[in-house]
Structure 1
Amino acid sequence: MSRASKTPLAPDLRDCDERTVRAWTESMAVTPLGGGCYRVDTDDDTYTVDVPGHRCTCPDYRYRGTNCKHRRRVAIEITQGRLPAPGQRRADCAVCGHESFVPETDAVPLCADCRLADGDVAVDRETADTLVVRRVHPDRADEYVIEATGASVAEHDTNEAYPADDLVVEAVYLGDQLRNDDPRVYAFPYSRLRQVEDAELVD
């Protein structure tokens, strides 16, 4: 097994300008506010950095228009994975429970390993049928009532082997998706579906 090479995590600050050095070395606390904005608390004051707008409320930016140390600090922490990037929020995954960064607009927080999104292809573990995901519903399988039967997803006889507290995935059969403009949407317990990897689709 080859030995990993030694490398520093921080840049060589001797080659950096003064604002970059301060961004790396000064004590700051950065808090996501949503919408791509972050609060930066320093020893002297509190400022707001707007990443999409490329702005900061500090005097250095307002009067000089510079890429201030606060904007640089936010960029450093996002790049290092310490903060969610604009458009993301920190949340516990609704499936595995691991803390991760998820899209701000997702009603159901799912980490990258558990995420099923509109258009993803999945396979039904019971029938091996191929499905196209429409969305992950926030209701549990024992809460989501199937309109046609009046019973919950958990009560459906083919779902007995799956947890009643599974999230519900709404999906359509691939054949129906290809043949019909308005295919019927079915509801499945999350763990009944296996997401198909891109490599499988190529094969």
Structure 2
Amino acid sequence: MTHTRSTPASQKTNLPVPSDAHLDERSRRAREEPMLVTAFGGDVYEVETEPGHRYLANVVAGRCTCPDHLFRDARCKHLRRVAIEITEGRVPPPGHVAVPCAVCSEEVFVRTASADPHLCPRHRFQRGDVARDRETGGLVLVVAVSNRRADEVRIPSQDCTVAEYATNRAYPASDPVVSAVYPAVRVTGDGPAPESLRVYSFPVSRLVRPES
């Protein structure tokens, strides 16, 4: 799933109430009152409300520092708001953080301390995926993915890096490398022609999903 933030990160906002929803008072206030939820990468979220009060809500433990929870032991509007925003993909779930895609900068949610590069679903390929080469328009079959940058991976037959290869120079040198083959194999009387089985290395942003 692709995750995007619909409002600036510092702006408090309210959420629409479904027309067919039958909500109790705390659930309704969780949606109708302007709040800003900030994730820290663990189980605890900061919830800022009007007029600028801030509370810490642990959505996993079901605890909040607000008076409603502390003195009434209630599942307060802050805990409910965090749960809603997680469910709707507005903030990352527990144990995750929001980071930009290394290719297009679209916001994605990844596990805390996970290794770079972080990629959105449009640019995250796996072995066996079919992609389209932007330069040739042809379909390719992904056979390997790498975390190494295009300016770090050399093409021995060309004595240059993937980033330096002529048809790759328009793409970021920082792109991770994807290796792929063109699925059409040319067969001669002696069997498959070796050049048709060649594995090519691409900067990831040179490849797109076939439906793109």
Relative to the length of structure 1, the TM-score reads 0.62
Paired-residue identity, %: 37
Instruction: State whether residues 101 and 119 of structure 2, in contact with CA within 8 Å, keep that contact through their aligned partners in structure 1.
Output: yes
Shift of 1:41: 1.6
Q: 1:89 aligns with which of 74, 97, 100?
A: 97
The answer to whether the aligner puts 1:160 opposite 2:171 as a matched pair is no
Q: Are residue 108 (structure 1) and residue 117 (structure 2) matched?
A: yes
Trace 1:1-203 onto structure 2 (pairs within 5 A).
9-11=16-18, 15-42=22-49, 43=51, 45-97=53-105, 99-104=106-111, 105=114, 107-116=116-125, 118-119=126-127, 121-123=129-131, 125=133, 130-137=141-148, 139=149, 141=150, 143-146=151-154, 151-155=160-164, 159-162=165-168, 163-166=170-173, 167-171=175-179, 187-195=201-209
CA contact (8 A) 2:16 2:31 kept: no
Indicate the structure with greater helix content: 1
The 1-side partners of 2:67 and 2:20 are apart by: 24
The one of the two structures with greater contact order (alpha-carbon pairs below 8 A, sep at least 6) is 2
- CA deviations on 1:87-120 (whole Å, 9 max, x unpaired) are 44333332233x323323252232222222x545
TM-score, normalization by structure 2 = 0.60
**Structure 1 residues 107 and 62 mapped into 2: Cα distance closer, same or farther (>3 Å)?**
farther
* Letter aligned with residue 71 of structure 1: L
Change (3 A) 1:109 1:16: same
Cα 1:128–1:101, aligned 2, differ >3 Å: closer, same or farther? closer
What amino acid is the match of 1:160?
A
Aligned in 2, Cα 1:52/1:135: closer, same or farther, shift over 3 Å? Answer: farther
Residue 90 of structure 1 aligns with an amino acid whose one-letter code is A
Can you give the 5+ residue segments of structure 2 that lack an aligned partner in the other structure? 1-14, 182-198
Q: Matches of 1:165 and 1:26 in 2, distance apart?
A: 43
RMSD over aligned Cα atoms: 3.8
Residue of structure 2 in register with 1:3 after alignment: none
CA distance in 2, matches of 1:56, 1:119: 43
Corresponding residue number in structure 2 for 1:200: none
TM superposition shift of 1:46:
1.9
Determine the C-alpha separation between the residues in 1 that align with 2:57 and 2:155. 47
CA contact (8 A) 1:88 1:101 kept: no
Q: Match for 2:124: what amino acid?
A: R
Q: How many residues matched?
A: 173
